[in-house]
Amino acid sequence: MDFIVNDAVIEEFRDGIFALRTRRFGTVAEIMIKRLYDLDESGSLAFDKKDRSSDQRIEVKFSTVMKENDDKIRDDNVIDQCKKANLANRAMQSFETDRYCFDCNIQQVKRKEFDVLYYGLFFANQIEIFKMDSDEILSCPGYSDKQHRGNEGEGQFHLNESNIEYHRKNYLQRILSYAELYELLN
């Protein structure tokens, strides 16, 4: 049975994605990449997906983009800060990257465990998908291979207002609307 997907349905879908945390959010991103690029399950805990045509190991890392909080939580502002923390106040539009500070951490990057990294950003208005080969990660601005003390071979990099244009210029693969993502997952 077909039904018309209106703006309210898409907005509810998008807000639900922003409300997901950690593993559940990551699973949505993995399914998105799997369907967009016709990938298989990896069959391994070391990487997320597998490209059957090239036998490449695929890793998937995404983040939601939120404006940085404007103040620390203190005794005298705790209620105000809780009110300001909602999605409507903090979710950032893709065209606002030069107006607001944000920091998205692409973490637990184990370069030796995969061949290709799909990473990206869920903005309030669209999803930006980037692709980088594992051997390019070392030259990624801000990449650190020392995420946690004692964790060898695991690193991280950040996407923020100071480097987002670099990633867009060098690694952007595609942009999806939430309506397109809804259709892809439906």
Please compute the mean of the pLDDT values over residues 134-139 and round it to a whole number: 89
Contact 158, 106 (CB under 8 A): yes
Backbone angles phi, psi at 133, to 5 degrees: -75, 150
Contact 40, 31 (CB under 8 A): no
Contact 6, 70 (CB under 8 A): no
Q: What pLDDT sits at residue 140?
A: 86
Is the pLDDT at 175 greater than 60, yes or no?
A: yes
pTM score: 0.89
Extended strands (E) in 11-137: 40-41, 49-51, 56-64, 103-109, 116-122, 127-133
Per-residue confidence at 126, pLDDT binned at 50, 70, 90? very high
Burial tier of 124 (Cβ tally within 10 Å: 0-12, 13-18, 19+): buried
What confidence tens digit (pLDDT) does each residue in 72-114 have?
A: 889 988 988 888 777 777 889 999 999 988 999 888 888 889 9
Please compute the mean of the pLDDT values over residues 68-73 and round it to a whole number: 81
End-to-end Cα, the chain, rounded Å: 12
What confidence tens digit (pLDDT) does each residue in 28-67 have?
A: 999 999 999 999 888 888 888 899 889 899 999 999 998 8
Domains in the chain: boundaries: 7-185
- Give the residue from 26, 30, 36, 32 showing the smallest Cα distance to 49: 30
Contact 63, 29 (CB under 8 A): no
Contact 143, 183 (CB under 8 A): no
Q: What pLDDT sits at residue 150?
A: 58
Strand pairing of 116-122 and 127-133?
Answer: antiparallel
- Give the residue from 106, 118, 112, 104 showing the smallest Cα distance to 48: 118
For the record, the structure tokens of 112 come out as 């030796």
Per-residue confidence at 147, pLDDT binned at 50, 70, 90? low
- Which residue in the block uniquely carries the two structure tokens 């690694």? 171
Is the pLDDT at 143 greater than 90, yes or no?
A: no
- Please state the separation of Cα 183 from the chain's center in Å: 19
Is the pLDDT at 2 greater than 80, yes or no?
A: no
Least confident span in 60-74, 116-130, 137-151, 153-167? 137-151
Per-residue confidence at 149, pLDDT binned at 50, 70, 90? low
What confidence tens digit (pLDDT) does each residue in 154-170 have?
A: 888 899 999 999 999 99
Beta-bridged to residue 117, according to DSSP, are 59, 132
Beta-bridged to residue 41, according to DSSP, are 49
Q: What pLDDT sits at residue 1?
A: 43
